Chain A
Amino acid sequence: MDKPVTGTKKVFMTGNETVAWAALAAGADIMFGYPITPQNEIMHYWTRLGTKYGRDFLQTEDEISAGFTVCGAIIAGKKAFTATAGPGNTLMQEPFSMAEAMRLPTVAIIQQRGGPSSGTVIYSQQEVTLTTYGGNGEGHRIVYSTATHQEIYDYTIKAFNNAWKYRFPTFVLGDGYQAKMREPLEIYDPEARNIEMVIPSPLVGLPGRIGIEREPQHLCNIYSLEDELYEVVLQLQAEYDRMAPELEEYQCRECDDAEILVVSHGVVSRSADDAVRFLRAQGIKAGAFRPITLRPFPGRALREILQTGVKKMLIVESAYGQLARLLQQEIYGENVPVETLLMPGVGIIDADIISKVKSLIH
């Protein structure tokens, strides 16, 4: 069968369409999904494109089922994924938590909408806590927060590869704006760019006669003794800690001599970049730090930057302190005052950040 993308191609499309192309290029076999705005078009494009390239889709009865069918397909050894938002993300925490416990490399695209509850169908950054630390576990997950359509493409491919390489549930955290807006990007065949594509492998239905050539696989997820579970969680934590430095990603703009450091993630970081450019032009020593991985959080890098003379930090997010909490636990003990610009469920533009920074200086 032909490759969905060969070489490199310039395109102009929505974020949701970008996800579908990236999942195709990453070799995803099957998507399970349940309709919820603003992620619906991922399913719409996947069902149309997927048919052309022999990929499968099932619309399940709810998000719980979408998450667990993904788990089932992965146990059977296929690259499976889903996409959701808001209340759907809440429901999917149950299957994601099973994926954490059983080391199932689930991939989920989260297009954040307003909350709490049904909130709005439009936009927010209010699913940070849920996506990084949801479920009744320790947050052993990989979470990429994208800012551009190019990143949606790049990191969706990366999400599949790192999920299967490290075997932790992996998320691409977008939002309604990124889902619905159109902007230019390049789509490409990852193998043509020497990106190593991880080959999936099954946990059940293995070759060989049971009892003669191999033992049966018994996949465990619940333990009789608290000591057994303790060992399992410590093991998970150890592997997560070992993996973290390989995974942490961040971006800096004018951080070197920054006196005021604007920290934001996702689509808001675009406004932060513009704000810093504007402030610098006015002689204000502003810089921007942006975690790309929210889990594991690039705390080490941030601490180093804070050592270089940052006098104040401004955390900016379309939520009421979800990034702020993540960040503050990571830099505990650092002596830099933290200010916030918290606008839950609404977009933030450069002018908002510029005026906040100016109010902090004067």
Chain B
Amino acid sequence: MKKRHVVQLGLAAGLVGLAGSALAAPFTCPKKGGDLVFAGEAKVNSLDQYSSQTISTRNVVSNIFEPLMTRDETNQPILDLAESMTEAPDGLSYTFKLRQGIKFHNGKDMTSADVKASFDRYAKIGIERAFLVNVEKWEAPDAFTFIIRMKKKQPTFIEDLSSFSQPVVIIPAEQKDAEFLRLEPIGTGPFQVVEYVADSHVKLKRYEGYKPNTKFEQRTGFGGYKVACVDTVTYRIVTEPGARVAGIETGELSAVEDVPTKAQAQLKKNKNVVLVPLENWWVHIMLPNTKTAPTNNLAFRRAVQAALDMDEIMDASTDGAYKLNIGFQYPGRATYTDAGKETYNLKNKELAKKYLKEAGYNNEPLVLLTNKDYTSMYNAALVVSEQLKAVGINAKLDVMDWPTSVNRMIKEKDSWNFFYTGYGTQPALGPLATMKFFAGGNATPSPPDAELQAAYDDMITLPDPAKRQEAFARMQKRILEQVYAVPFGSLTKVQAVRANVKGYKPFRIPRFSNVWIE
């Protein structure tokens, strides 16, 4: 390796830091102290980030653990526990220099041995460990250097590594062999765990030994210059929406994760409460089973696509908190494309009937596999069912709980035709994370499709980001034209905070650093 170059993002982080230092001082808490009581809508099933991909787990642990790299406010990769990252010109190695003086919550210094141990555990049990498939090995030549060596070039490796879906968070080396779901929640983040009572709450407190990342002046995304302003955070699990609304009204809760649409008008009148809409929370979607009749017939799938009125579906699913959205990225983002728009929101009954005739459809039952755990999915299925009946399709709902519906989708491939789900974190992470659902028959039984696979391969292997984006557009168009998925639109999630809670800005999930109580 004769020559190395610092990749753009490492340089960018440094430049931001230098430019920022000339312009403004790093963030300081206008006020310190207090207990921020946050109400989450779902149960936190584990604090082991290697073992759980759920949003509720991420809500808590992203304030406790930190990775080498993460994403900024615009979703671009940035350095977090790494001081710098250098990619070899041949793309076959990534060298990370670690920030020094970082201590774990147990007081131990973080070194490259901990980073190595973290990657070892992730490779063994991490749910998303498949992104390490092209990695040959990793090594720690000295206490603050960590090198990842690749078997072959993977231009999107840093995009994967910086993903916050299930990041390789850095844990003390002693925990390397912690079994699945058995990780002690000891990280390097601004908050440390005091108590975790399942089904009830997680109590966090400020980690006094925390060292903010001085490359930045402000919090950005899940990284940047983070400071714990509040003494403690009580993350309470309040699954009942009415109780969350009551709690934010009384002031017993400082912030709540999800406010039902019907309660928003009432809360808007309360001068002590501020609503914080988080647009583009997830893409609502139904996936066809292309291996079973009648959805194994493209003309039939196109009939379904033609019959749907997305406004009606999204309105019923979300009580009006939605945006129509073509495809798998959110409008307004650099990666958004409307490729395949001619297939979306057609609400054309005549066209649907034409396709049905072409498909030779003879009133075979069409099973819509949905669940009641996610009300929006159930409501979407109800409306779709009625719209399809209106064009002469014998649509039937099959309603079960979420784990059962997932299991049935995977294992009983002959028993359903459309499966209801939603993509949230992945569209936020970018096209690559979302498109993996359609490559290699991953999430839904889709047929081998050479054109689709070629587009995906280009998305992974092309060195030029613009070319990768173009490949994404091709892939999205192919998916929509072949009706391998029917995205309905995107949901808005409305959070709420008490008026005296300042600095709270949702970024997919709650961030408790740089938030203070007046």
**Bind each other:** no
Residues of A within 8 A of B (CB): none
Residues of B that sit less than 8 Å from A by CB: none
